[in-house]
Amino acid sequence: MFEDIAPAKIGLEEWSRQFACVSDDLIRRYTYYGNNEWGIYLSPPATFMVYGARELKKLKYDNSLAALRLWGFTFNESERLFRARQNGMRVIATMGDLGTVPVIVMAFPSCIPFYPDCTWWTPFFNESTVLLDKASELGVPEASCFVRSSLAAFYKRAYFPKPEALFASTGASCDDYSALMQMVQDLGHDLTWLEIPYRRQRHEEDDPEEFCGTEQGYQYAARFDNYLANEYRRVWDKMRALTGNGDTAELKRSIRKANRLRRLVAKIKKTAGQASVAPFPALEMMVVEFGNLYGYGDIDEWTDIVEMVHNTVSERAAKGTGVLGPDAVPIAWITPTADPLLLNVAENLGARIVETEYVINQAHVEIDENIDPFLALARSFMNASLIGSTSERVRRIRDSVNQGRIKGVIISNMLGCSHCAMETRLIEEKLKDLPVLSIDVPAPMGITEQLRTRISAFMETLR
Amino acid sequence: MQLIGYTCSYIPVELLALTGFRPYRLLHGDVDSSKRGEKFVRVDACPMVKSNLDHIFRNQNDFAALVGSTGCDMSRRMLDVAAENTRIPVLVFNNPRTDNRTIFHDEIDWLTQRLERLSRRQFNPASIQNEVTKWESMRVELRTIDERRAANPSQVSTASFHEVMTAYCQGAFDRDVSICRERADRPRVYLLGSAITYESNAILRLIEDHLRIVGDFNCGLSRALDIRIQEPTLAGIEETYYGQPPCVFKRPDRRFIDHVRDETRRLNCTGVVAWTLDYCDAYEFELRKIERTIDLPVLRIRSDFSLQGSSQLRTRIEAFVEMLCSKT
């Protein structure tokens, strides 16, 4: 029987050796879609390197069973989506909103949401420019977000099955992804466009009665709730037409499930951030955070995994054990990195990431369970990271600075990405009483000694 | 007179003018100011946005307010940067990217209220009618110049047309908009892409040394003339601005593509010049599709406003002309 040993970050070979202790019973216990026949996903991370994720050999992983489940489940997603299609389930692409539309999709039986957007990690995990090169061939400029790989993935039809419906959110969002979704539509997909409104801050001259606020303190014109709620009703109608089903009680149930996951992740983040020693690595924490978007298409199993992560993190925090040294310097990381290796690099150089702003704030807030579900979803989305001002976006980081919880900030940018280009200087200004390092995420296999030296020098200044 | 800066073709200039401030479209762009703008944003921001930020910052006392829209992400965020670095009041208009008339109309109502408060003026039907009439008569005059530009053979160069449109974009009604005849039998091309800035006239002249631009779909040129307000009321303004030929940012982009294709045919163009600024995602992503749809040769010019490569550009334009001539 496998038992967690002293927490550590280990490499692929060590994980493979450790995996020998995992019993067959344990392997059979964890399945996706609740299917015992073909739904097994527990395997050593090296399996996925063999499948093509070559960067895995450079990464270090948490050595817990929870982490093993986490990696097995997330790397299994492509297989899972094709399995879903083979077994008559409906695969639904949700694009651009990062966290809300899947809650609606999951309310329909046998409907599996996924984010093609998340293909942006693939060129880095695979150490391959195949998808980026194909995107360029299709007409995407090279100076644009790495999410352009998702267009190539649609074109190649090898990374996920052709979705039966696509919901594309645009509006107060980044330009390149909006343009990219248009190109996906041009490939012949039946795409439903949704409008994301801009979260305009309340001005002193505004009538307060026309405004409402989120739990996180963002204020916006109340009518935006209705716009968004109507957009979500369109998603509902489209899904109902597609499936022949549609029970709002199921939507409420889906919201409750999403909230349970969000609460768990919030607890993990809090416990991990406050622990004397980092109980879980930054890379796995990022995977946990992004799971809030859609539970990687099987929210029940993913929530179970996150529950296990929570137990592991809590136990380690209580014991004062963890995966980094006690002298690791607490920092915040702003904007997710497309190259996961950067998080490892930062930790190896002495950083401990205790606060993040991964442009998915909307997926971290609880959805009101006591009001009309569409309105509740709309209100939760109004907390989104990228639909308002930069000062709103970094408010939480600013609060952590004020509380003395972090000593520095790393911002990872992408060349040509509209919000990176426009926000970085402002963020630096907003956090100017702290050292801030702004780096560009290089193309796959592009992390150079120069970049490592920059991060290393930055960490030196923080000590 | 103080200025009210604005950034987007969907912002009704008539409403801005009702404040008593002079509407001034933020269309600055040259190498030096773009470089200076990097004080506020990263190097990979749109060069026009960088120039505009520099202009706003250096002339902040001239502006009573800035009105932006959500049309383009960098433009929207430019207003955020301006708000953080100046004391100029900033209003951001929520211009929907999808076909969503309700949001647009509600936003015009909101903008009207905010402009009334800003200027401490009440916009009444008579003042609205007066302002619409004033701007519409300016547009009528400019359309006659545009028609001469579009004539076959073309009678007015786009470089000259740009000068008169600059007066419109800067709200300078007192400027002389007369224009001299410059008949040309050069190959007729259509211009589209990023905005043509006030400082870009030299590039237009360079292009028109060999070609004649007879139509365009660029901010800073004829896009403003697509506004034809029939009913001089607030509802008429809303309807007209909403229904204008759609910007490249609108989703889906079918109507934009169709409009460009129809215009190139109507104007008997034999080629297209696509002018894009560095990091202008919207056009960079669309160019391949535009090429496919309009089925005309396209000369792509990518710019950061620098004229350092002008000799090379001249050679490319000459080669393009040779290709167009060999096809006819």
Mutation to test the A interface, candidates B34, B88, B251, B290, most A Cβ within 10 Å: B251
The conformational region for residue B220 under phi > 0 = left, psi -120 to 50 = alpha, else beta, is left
Q: Rg of the Cα trace of chain B?
A: 19
CATH code at B322?
A: 3.40.50.11900
Q: How far is CA B62 from the centre of its chain?
A: 21
Residues in chain B: 328
B19 and B119 in a single domain? The answer is yes
B60 and B180 in a single domain? The answer is no
Identify residues of B whose CB sits under 8 angstroms from chain A CBs.
39-42, 44-46, 49, 70, 72-74, 76-78, 80-81, 83-84, 92, 94, 96-98, 100, 102-103, 106, 110, 114, 117, 249, 251-253, 278-279, 281-282, 284-289
Instruction: Please give the C-alpha separations between residue B106 and each of A214, A371, A399, B110, B112, in angstroms, as whole numbers.
Output: 22, 25, 35, 6, 10
Identify the bridge partners of residue A148 per DSSP, sorted by sequence position: none
Interatomic CA distance for residues A346 and A359, integer angstroms: 20
Residue of A130, A183, A158 whose CA lies nearest to A443 = A130
Number of domains in chain A: 2
In A, which residues are within 8 Å of B284 by CB distance? 141, 144, 179
B39 and B91 in a single domain? The answer is yes
Residue of B95, B113, B115, B91 whose CA lies nearest to B104 = B95
CB-based contact B281 A168, cutoff 8 Å: no
CATH code at A186?
A: 3.40.50.11890
Q: Which domain holds residue A98?
A: 89-247
At residue B177, the pLDDT reads 65
At residue B319, the pLDDT reads 97
Q: What is the DSSP letter of A328?
A: P
At residue A1, the pLDDT reads 60
Q: How many Cα atoms are found within 13 Å in the side-chain-facing hemisphere of A237?
A: 7
- Residue A250: which residues within 8 A CB-CB, separation 6 or more? A107, A108, A109
The dihedral of CA B317, B319, B325, B328: what is its sign? Answer: negative
A292 and A145 in a single domain? The answer is no
| Intervals of chain B under pLDDT 50 | none
B98 and B174 in a single domain? The answer is no
A280 and A235 in a single domain? The answer is no
B93 and B139 in a single domain? The answer is no
Which of B73, B110, B251 faces A418 most closely, judged by CB atoms? B73
Interatomic CA distance for residues A363 and A337, integer angstroms: 18
Q: What is the DSSP letter of A21?
A: T
Interatomic CA distance for residues A440 and A61, integer angstroms: 24
Record the tokens describing residue B29, joined without a space.
């762009």
B13 and B112 in a single domain? The answer is yes
Q: Of chain A residues 406-425, which have a CB less than 8 A from chain B?
A: 413, 415-425
Q: Is the peptide bond before B252 cis (omega within 30 degrees of 0)?
A: yes
At residue B24, the pLDDT reads 98
Instruction: Please give the C-alpha separations between residue B220 and each of A263, B138, B142, B197, in angstroms, as whole numbers.
Output: 50, 15, 13, 6
Compute the nearest-CA separation of A159 from chain B (Å).
23
Interatomic CA distance for residues A153 and A144, integer angstroms: 16
Q: Which domain holds residue B93?
A: 3-124
pTM above 0.90, yes or no: yes
Tell whether A331 is covered by a domain: yes
Tens of pLDDT, residue by residue, chain A (463 residues): 678 889 999 999 999 999 999 999 999 999 999 999 999 999 999 999 999 999 999 999 999 999 999 999 999 999 999 999 999 999 999 999 999 999 999 999 999 999 999 999 999 999 999 999 999 999 999 889 999 999 999 999 999 999 999 999 999 988 889 999 999 999 999 999 999 999 998 888 788 888 998 888 899 999 999 999 999 999 999 999 999 999 999 999 999 999 999 999 999 999 999 999 999 999 999 999 999 999 999 999 999 999 999 999 999 999 999 999 999 999 999 999 999 999 999 999 999 999 999 999 999 999 999 999 999 999 999 999 999 999 999 998 999 899 999 999 999 999 989 999 999 999 999 999 999 999 999 999 999 999 999 999 999 999 9
Tell whether A20 is covered by a domain: no
- Tell me the ipTM for this assembly: 0.95
